[in-house]
Amino acid sequence: MICSIRATLLAACALGCATMASGGETAIDVARLAADAAMARHDPVLAETTVRKAMAQTHADNALRAWLAQALLGEGDREGARRVLDGGAFTPDSAGLGWRIRGQVALADGNLGAAAGAFDQALHFAPGDADVWVSIAAMRFTGGEQALSIAAADRAVALDPRNPRAVALRGMLIREQYGLSAALPWFEQALKLHPDDPALLDAYGSTLGDMGEYRAMLIVARKLADVEPKNPRPRLMEAVLAARAGQTELARSILQRTGTAFRDMPAAMLLTGALEYQAGNYEVSVNVLERLVNGQPDNAVARHALARALAAKGDWRRLVDLFDGDVGAGRAGPDLVALVGDGWTRLGLRETGDRARMDQDKGRALLTRAKAMAGTTAIAPLRSDSAASVLALAYGENPHPAGNAVPYIRALIAAHQADTAQPIADRLRDDNAGNADAQMLAGDVRMIRGQTRDALIDYTNAAAIRFNEAVLVRMDAALRAVGRTRDADAMTSRYLAQNPESAIAMTLLAAGWAGNPARAGDLIALRKAMLARGAELPLLHAPSTAGQQAG
């Protein structure tokens, strides 16, 4: 507060003087510096006030236009920033910032084409500005150009190794590319440069939490709360910590105090669904999780959580209606197969005659199948909800957008036309060489066609861009399918070292080590770790018959 008051007084003093301030700086220079200082302290309102005063006194609107737009964008007023940017021209020494802000506004609007054009202009005027390259990296990542995003972030860091935004973004990309542990030094380096930056503290704390370093996460959360008291993110971190410690009521209370701040955040919705489930509020849990699944129908974790909640609620009809398709298409892991099997069995007990016998037989078959699947993970491509013939028309009219190609590929797979899907998937991969998902989808089609070694090449290329759990599962399966079990164990162990809370990596390793006497001790330690994690995530263990059978 004292610093803010001091900055305000200094800015007011500078702008109240003649056009030329002491030291040769003009009133425009002073206003720009004061606005930059306010933005660095995350005070865009002060930056706006400072610039507007300077505009009123100097009438140099074009020279200050970019700084005013930057302040308005910082306040979340994109429309106001757009009006300012459209209200006149930039001076040569402000054009780099002006075009960068114009690009950021377009990016926030979801207009990637306009953003790219604006950033090109910004580079023309300010080719050595690291912040422009940070914006370009963010745009490329949003557009799915993950490899190009990494290159842009590297360029930003090379231009200004002390730029906290550049270092932080590289850390986020390192996290996606290599794992959680690898990202920590980048966040720590950025925090040394800017220890009170809320976005940095948030990213650092979240990464610590994902690694299971909850005490360290709590320290960062408290620091974030001190720096930005109105920021609800520390509360979310505290709720995660309480949930992991099994303090369900405390976690629910903390989340409730955040109001509607996280109502539509997927991670918070999943946490809320889990907490309400653990508290026995199955109806509330189902409502939250259904809303999440409706918004993210391909979110496997959310789908599994919803299935658990429906089973606990006893809504077996809804359970089988929603998830029997996942089981039939091979998209379900053993737990979900067991839940659906239990659902069919329960429905059969309520019926009579042939229908009852058919449902019970189906349920028993699925429960047997679930036991046989223990330790495996489904890797079938995601479903498509439209007919291949309909999607073929959209693809034929414009084959380049992923939004046309991906649903068509999925529909062809569902229609058992993998041979037709392969060249389409390969074209998508080649047109999006820096996108891990495109590489992965091409590999999925190859796996379905039995070309495991070729699929492994696609998966390896995907992992080089973005090594996440989806890639891990596929590479593990492909390596084991071609007999490279040691390579699979080594790769999954490295992933677990980087991401120590990954239940999927633990499950894959446990399956790989099962029956190996040399790994007996490691397997015991791993199962203890999995049990400990299960205790921290009560959603994974439902107090129901279905949950016991799935276990």
Mean pLDDT of the chain: 83
What are the tokens at 480?
């084991």
Q: What percent of the chain has pLDDT over 70?
A: 88
User: Which one, of 370, 312, 307, lies nearest residue 341 by Cα?
Assistant: 370
Q: Is the pTM here over 0.75, yes or no?
A: no
Q: Model confidence at 379, in pLDDT bands (50, 70, 90)?
A: low
Least confident among 45-54, 224-233, 320-329, 371-380 = 371-380
**Residue 74 region by backbone torsions, left for phi larger than 0, else alpha for psi between -120 and 50, else beta:** alpha
CA distance 361 to 319: 17
Q: Which domains does the chain have, with CATH numbers?
A: 1-127 (1.25.40.10), 253-372 (1.25.40.10), 376-461 (1.25.40.10), 483-551 (no CATH)
Question: In residues, how long is the chain?
Answer: 551
Q: Is the distance from CB of 309 to CB of 331 less than 8 angstroms? A: no
Q: What pLDDT, on the 0 to 100 scale, is given for residue 551?
A: 27
pLDDT tens readout for residues 464-475: 888 888 899 899
User: Which one, of 276, 328, 279, 269, lies nearest residue 299 by Cα?
Assistant: 269
Residue 481 CB coordination number (10 Å): 16
Least confident among 5-9, 155-159, 429-433, 436-440 = 5-9
Q: What pLDDT, on the 0 to 100 scale, is given for residue 20?
A: 42
Q: What pLDDT, on the 0 to 100 scale, is given for residue 144?
A: 80
Q: What pLDDT, on the 0 to 100 scale, is given for residue 6?
A: 33
Question: Does 283 have pLDDT greater than 90?
Answer: yes
List Cβ<8 Å contacts ≥24 apart for 41-46: 41/3, 41/4, 41/7, 42/74, 42/197, 42/198, 42/228, 43/4, 44/70, 44/71, 44/72, 44/73, 44/74, 44/75, 45/71, 45/75, 46/4, 46/7, 46/8
Per the model's pLDDT, the better-predicted residue between 7 and 229 turns out to be 229
The identity of residue 224, as a single letter, is L
Quote the distance between the C-alpha of residue 530 and its chain's center.
Answer: 24
pLDDT tens readout for residues 36-75: 999 988 889 999 999 999 999 999 999 999 999 999 999 8
Q: Model confidence at 223, in pLDDT bands (50, 70, 90)?
A: very high
pLDDT tens readout for residues 305-350: 899 999 999 999 999 999 888 887 777 778 888 899 999 999 888 8
